[in-house]
């Protein structure tokens, strides 16, 4: 058998900046980044803004324009595009087409930037459009939600939905840079603010016991939207995500996805609720279910389980008719098969073998899931634990 063999590695790097007032003219962070390429390379940038952000920050467009007046070497595309925020961004294929057309209209080339300002959904859409335009235009992410600042916005994935199926098309493509501006978080609703906290609980549970203890200790001030503590949470959570991505299998060529702890149920609940349950809220429910399952099969103690459920309960409802598994026909159970289908290969689910330690299993017992679901329901009926 005759063959030629090809083999190469591609290196990717990017920075995640933490700043405030990104577009204050004397904040050099963004401009310095763009100007760091050699002068012969064109510096051109197109902005796409989440409508929810644009409404909450009515001066944003003007600030962006003022900012780039100071940095004349950078060519700002005059039109700033506004697109619907939330899951609608990923459910409407016309928005994707619109962005591709914009790349053409505004002459965006492989060295120009498309910057997206918004929640995880808008970043996922714009990141995908940037990734496939000219086989990859440089993409800057400016996440504006807790979830996108500590998780989705710092990672390497993008995508949109297809007939309601989450992230059916997309790519792995690292951003050119990420700019986390804490001020954007001030305008979030409580629901959107809290929603991002579940990803921090998730990554703490599978990777970092000390961070989980920090979350226990600071749950009430986080619930009161203490900005200082939220900054700590975001930085720690983002760092854990970055470290995970670079340490393992950045483009997920294998079947293992520890960061998807709690997500097999979450993805299904989101879809079953027609996205009325937020991603982060669904993840909290998924974590509660899978942590309880971990306890029921003897991986963690009941005391540790209750610490987990207690922290989650500060921010979230842990149960919902859609996640209640009374029998083998419960619709959420379909999420297991779909999770396997999406990954291919054998079923691989992350559970907990301790607080701060994930463990993969390849089999899930549906009867025990029923028991886990009942446990969570029972737990949430009790008066809240006094430990917090």
Contact residues toward ligand NAD (CB under 6 A) are 50-53, 56, 85-87, 90, 118-122, 124, 144-145, 147-148, 151-152, 155, 157-158, 184, 187-188, 192, 195, 279-280
Name the one range near its own copies by CB under 8 A: 71-79, 139-147, 235-243, 373-381: 235-243
- For ligand NAD, the closer of residues 199 and 296 by Cβ is 199
Q: Which is nearer to ligand NAD, 77 or 147 (CB)?
A: 147
Q: Which residues contact 58 (CB under 8 A, 6 or more apart)?
A: none
Return the range that interacts with its own copies (CB under 8 A); candidates 159-167, 186-194, 214-222, 324-332: 159-167
Nearer of residues 17 and 172 to ligand NAD, judged by Cβ = 172
Span from 80-88, 152-160, 221-229, 287-295 in contact with its own copies (CB under 8 A): 152-160
Please state the φ and ψ torsions of residue 90, each to the nearest 5 degrees. -90, -15
| CB 188 within 8 Å of CB 230 | no
Q: How far apart are the first and last CA of the chain?
A: 66
Binds 111, which of ligand NAD, its own copies, none (CB < 5 to 8 A, cut-off by type)? its own copies
CB 258 within 8 A of CB 350: yes
Query: Which of its own copies, ligand NAD, none interacts with 280 (beta carbon under 5 to 8 A by kind)?
Result: ligand NAD
Using CA atoms, how far apart are residues 75 and 68, in angstroms rounded to an integer?
8
CA dist list (Å): 287 to 150, 262, 337 = 17, 4, 18
Residues 328-367 that bind its own copies (CB under 8 A): 341-346
**Which residue number, 123 or 305, has a Cβ lying nearer to ligand NAD?**
123
Q: Which does 53 bind (CB under 5 to 8 A by kind): its own copies, ligand NAD, none?
A: ligand NAD
- Nearest residue (CB) to ligand NAD, 85 versus 358: 85
* Residue 349 phi, psi (nearest 5): -120, 135
Q: Minimum Å distance from CB 179 to ligand NAD? A: 13
Comparing CB distances to ligand NAD, the nearer of 195 and 222 is 195
Half-sphere exposure in the Cβ direction for 358 (13 Å, CA): 23
**Nearest distance from residue 77's CB to its own copies, in Å?**
14
Given 8, 26, 78, 303, the residue binding its own copies (CB under 8 A): 8
Q: What is the CA 274 to chain-centroid distance, rounded?
A: 19
Neighbours of 233 (CB within 10 A): 25
Nearer to ligand NAD, 166 or 307 (CB): 166
354 binds, among ligand NAD, its own copies, none (CB under 5 to 8 A by kind): none
Residue 69 within binding range of its own copies, rule CB under 8 A = no
Instruction: For residues 114 and 46, give the distance between their C-alpha atoms in angstroms, rounded to a whole number.
Output: 5
Q: Please give the Cα distance from 156 to 162 (Å, whole number).
A: 20
Residue 18 Cα to chain centre, angstroms:
17
Site membership for its own copies, residue 35 (CB under 8 A): no
Pick from 21, 62, 79, 168: which binds its own copies (CB under 8 A)?
168
Judged by DSSP in three states, 74 sits in coil
* Helices 197-207 and 227-247: angle between axes, nearest 10 degrees: 50
**Contacts with 370 (C-beta within 8 Å, 6 or more apart), sequence order:** 325, 326, 327, 328, 330
> Cα separation of 156 and 251, whole Å?
8
**Helix axes of 263-272 and 279-296: crossing angle, nearest 10 degrees:** 140
Contact characters 120-149, its own copies, x per CB under 8 A:
--------x--xxxxxx-------------
| Interacting residues with its own copies (CB under 8 A) | 1-19, 29, 40-42, 100, 103-104, 107, 109-112, 128, 131-136, 154, 157, 159, 162-163, 165, 167-172, 174, 235, 238-239, 242, 245-246, 250-252, 255, 341-346
């Amino acid at each position: 058998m005759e063959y030629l063999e090809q083999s190469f590695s591609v290196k990717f790097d990017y920075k995640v900046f933490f700043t405030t007032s990104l577009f204050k003219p004397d904040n050099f962070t963004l401009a310095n980044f763009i100007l760091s390429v050699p002068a012969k390379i064109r510096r051109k940038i197109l902005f796409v803004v989440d409508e929810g952000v644009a409404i909450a920050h009515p001066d944003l467009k003007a600030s962006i324009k003022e900012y780039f007046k100071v940095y004349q070497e950078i060519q700002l595309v005059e039109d700033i595009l506004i697109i619907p925020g939330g899951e609608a961004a990923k459910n409407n294929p016309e928005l994707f087409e619109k962005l591709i057309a914009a790349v053409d209209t505004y002459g965006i080339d492989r060295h120009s930037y498309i910057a997206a300002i918004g929640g995880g959904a808008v970043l996922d859409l714009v990141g995908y459009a940037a990734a496939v335009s000219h086989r990859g235009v440089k993409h800057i992410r400016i996440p504006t939600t807790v979830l996108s600042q500590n998780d989705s916005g710092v990672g390497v994935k993008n995508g949109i939905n297809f007939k309601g199926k989450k992230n059916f098309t997309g790519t792995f493509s690292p951003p050119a840079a990420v700019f986390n501006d804490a001020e954007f978080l001030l305008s979030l609703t409580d629901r959107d603010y809290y929603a991002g906290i579940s990803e921090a609980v998730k990554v703490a549970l599978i990777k970092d016991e000390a961070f989980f203890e920090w979350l226990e200790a600071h749950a009430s001030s986080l619930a009161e939207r203490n900005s200082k503590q939220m900054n700590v949470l975001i930085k720690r959570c983002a760092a854990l995500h970055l470290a995970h991505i670079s340490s393992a299998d950045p483009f997920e060529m294998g079947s293992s996805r520890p960061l998807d702890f709690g997500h097999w149920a979450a993805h299904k609940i989101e879809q079953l609720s027609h996205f009325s349950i937020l991603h982060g809220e669904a993840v909290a429910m998924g974590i509660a279910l899978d942590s309880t399952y971990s306890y029921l099969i003897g991986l963690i103690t009941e005391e540790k389980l209750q610490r987990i459920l207690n922290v989650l309960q500060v921010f979230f409802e842990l149960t919902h008719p859609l996640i209640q598994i009374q029998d083998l026909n419960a619709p959420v159970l379909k999420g297991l098969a779909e999770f396997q289908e999406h990954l291919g290969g054998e079923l691989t689910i992350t559970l907990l073998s301790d607080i701060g330690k994930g463990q993969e299993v390849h089999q899930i017992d549906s009867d025990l899931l029923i028991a886990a679901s009942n446990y969570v329901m029972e737990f949430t009926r009790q008066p809240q634990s006094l430990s917090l």
